[in-house]
Amino acid sequence: MIAAATRTVSRRLRATATIVTSAAVAAGVIAIGAPPALATATKLAVTTSAAGPASGAAFSTQPQITMQDSSSNAVTGTAANVTASVSAGATLVGTTTVAVNTGTGIATFTNLGITGTAGTSYTITFTSGSLTTASQSVTVTAGPAARLTVTTAPAGAQSGTAFTTQPVVTVVDSGGNTAATNNTGTVTASTSGGTLANDTATAVAGVATFSGLALTATGGATYTLTFTYSVSGVVGTSTTIGLAGTAAALSVVTAPAGPVSGAAFSTQPSIAIVDSNGTRVISSTATVTATVSSGATLVGTTTATAASGLATFANLGISGTIGTSYTITFSATGLTAVTASVTPTLGAGSRLVMNVNAAGAVSGSAFTTQPKVLVQDSGGNIVTSSTATITATVSAGGTLIGTTTATPSSGIATYTNLGLTAAAGTYTITYSATGLTSITQSITVTSPTPAPTISSVSPNSGVTSGGVSVTITGANFTGATAVTFGGTPGTSVVIASGTTITVTTPARTQGAVAVAVTTPGGTASLANGFTYRTPGTPLGAGIYLAPTTPPAGTRRPPWVSAQPTSSRSRVVTTPLNTPTRLQLASLPKSSRVQAQIRINGNWRGMGVYRSTSKGRVTLRALTATVPGTYYVRLKVGKKTFFVRLQGG
């Protein structure tokens, strides 16, 4: 009895030990047998995780959620509900809110499940009022069969002929996943208004693919196909299909795309032959022809023959202006046409085109006009990105000089010093680059013009006022473009022949200057070829009296006898602008001679001289710059003698 009582007391002490508070210990008082204090719940904890997450079914292991205090101890005696929710993309099934067992502090779900995508992880969150939530992750697996779905719709229906696209029906769970169970049954197709052939298919791993399914019915109408499953409880499904009638029109199934100018479309167009309802007529073998609007051309094969009612082009493309929209029309005999719009983009370099022809070809020299060559795509657009090396070559008999290659800049290759050495004639220059169609031009070469030469200038001197007619003798004067005296152009230039030029001197200051003749062959210059001199003292009417010392180039005509009367006076002719000294005879011997010239009705003095013992005297030079006749009077004592000076 004593032992039993001792064990009882011991058990009671152990049971009550858990309610000893820290305050009681601090006070040195232990309250044995006092009622326990209730803990406060602060959070939820998943103490049993949900497992077996087949989509659309209850978890095989139901979750248990415990209310806990901050020290993770279970809290009992509190009435509360726990609610489950799931992250986006899934839904929960079953009862999502359960009550907490107040005796244990645990909420136990009984039929909770999830519907979602198989293989996807979702988060289930458990909440209860203001308590800190708890959560767990589940990865959904496929659930049991729930319904059928058409994953490949039938197409290409012609009465009595198997669909060109056979339907595929999948057995799925409630979440749309291919079912994990009951997935090997039979799917049966049915319809009203027609007769089906080969209307069953057996599911393999949940997928039933029909073979040879065909509908015999009136064409030009739409029919509903209903699919049912051999397993009870699985919901069927349906789809519609148009049964083709008589071919009536064309329809774009695949529009052309990737319209790089000059190249085939990266996506080739496919054109269906359809009836008035838009249903493809799979029996049609019509030939479809493509044409394009003005300003562009099509490349490749522009026709395609329909197979099973679909005409697919193989290498169709377009060449046109970049950035311009063009319309491609697809047509077939007896059918309504259809169109598609395309806007070409820049194509690859295709050809070379002359921008500027070489010109001005003199053998051995660079062309006066240098060639420019464009790089274009097949649509005639300049390929600004081209870096092709363009090489020039010439036909037989010629040799190119200078730089024979050029690299495009912004699509234009410009030569800088290209030329040609060849005998006179016409030659062909070819411009080529790897992968591009070459271009040629014809050019006519001339022999180089020989350089001119000057052998003499006559007269080689004249007055500073200019106006002297000069004859230049030399060679290769043909085509002369300029004659200069000290750099100043002469006037009244006449190319008398390849060896003779006449020219009138320009006015310049006194001194010797170079005479130059310029031709296409170059410039010839004769140093000190002409000397300008001051004509002397002006006497009027264009007559000048030279200084005592005769200037260079002064003429001395033969001696002429002076006559006692003006009417009988002899005439001495002098070229214009040429100093001329009159040499007079038949005068009194060793006598004082006073010379005068009549200008504009007045006698102007020419100086005083003394005749020789032979009665001769030489006067100072006179220069006539304008045509005219002038009397020269010689007074010897009381006698008077005359001579006439004819200028020009």
Give the rounded percent of residues in the chain with a pLDDT score beyond 90.
78
Give the rounded percent of residues in the chain with a pLDDT score beyond 70.
94
∠ CA(619), CA(621), CA(627), 5° rounding? 120
**Per-residue pLDDT tens for 113-166?**
999 999 999 999 999 999 999 999 999 999 899 999 999 999 888 888 899 899
Inter-residue contact 39 to 68 (CB < 8 Å): no
Q: Reduce the secondary structure of 44-65 to three states and give it as a string.
A: EEEEECCECCECCEECCECCEE
Does the bond joining 459 to the residue before it have cis omega, within 30 degrees of 0?
A: yes
What tokens does 114 get?
Answer: 């999830």
Q: What is the mean pLDDT of residues 576-600?
A: 94
SS3 5: helix
Write the CB contacts of 442 (distance below 8 Å, at least 6 apart in sequence).
426, 427, 428, 429
Place of tokens 């009296």: 545
Mean pLDDT across the chain: 91
**Per-residue pLDDT tens for 231-276?**
999 999 999 998 888 999 999 999 999 999 988 999 999 999 999 8
The strands making up 297-299's β-sheet, listed across from edge to edge, are 263-264, 317-319, 297-299
- pLDDT at position 38, please? 59
**Distance between CA 43 and CA 235 in Å, rounded?**
43
Q: Please give the sequence-ordered ranges of beta strands (E in DSSP) within 486-575, or none if there are none.
A: 488-489, 491-495, 500-504, 511-519, 522-533, 537-540, 543-545, 560-561, 570-574
Q: Write down the number of H helices and E strands in the chain.
A: 2, 60
**Distance between CA 122 and CA 136 in Å, rounded?**
8
Write the CB contacts of 288 (distance below 8 Å, at least 6 apart in sequence).
250, 271, 273, 303, 304, 305, 306, 311, 330, 331, 332
Q: pTM for the full model?
A: 0.44
Count of alpha carbons within 13 Å of 233, Cβ hemisphere only?
8
- pLDDT at position 34, please? 41
Residue 17 pLDDT > 70: no
- pLDDT at position 11, please? 38
**Per-residue pLDDT tens for 165-221?**
999 999 999 889 999 889 999 999 999 888 999 999 999 999 999 999 999 988 888
**Per-residue pLDDT tens for 277-288?**
888 898 899 999
- Bridge partners, residue 181, by sequence: 144
Residue 472 pLDDT > 70: yes
**Distance between CA 421 and CA 416 in Å, rounded?**
16
- pLDDT at position 597, please? 96
What tokens does 371 get?
Answer: 């060639």
**Distance between CA 137 and CA 86 in Å, rounded?**
9
**Distance between CA 597 and CA 603 in Å, rounded?**
5
- Bridge partners, residue 4, by sequence: none
Domains of the chain from N-terminus onward: 43-139 (2.60.40.10), 147-243 (2.60.40.10), 249-342 (2.60.40.10), 351-446 (2.60.40.10), 453-533 (2.60.40.10), 537-647 (2.60.40)
**Per-residue pLDDT tens for 364-381?**
999 999 999 999 988 889
| Most distant pair of Cα atoms in the chain: their distance | 207
Is residue 418 very low, low, confident or very high in pLDDT (cuts 50, 70, 90)? very high
Name the DSSP class of 286.
Answer: P
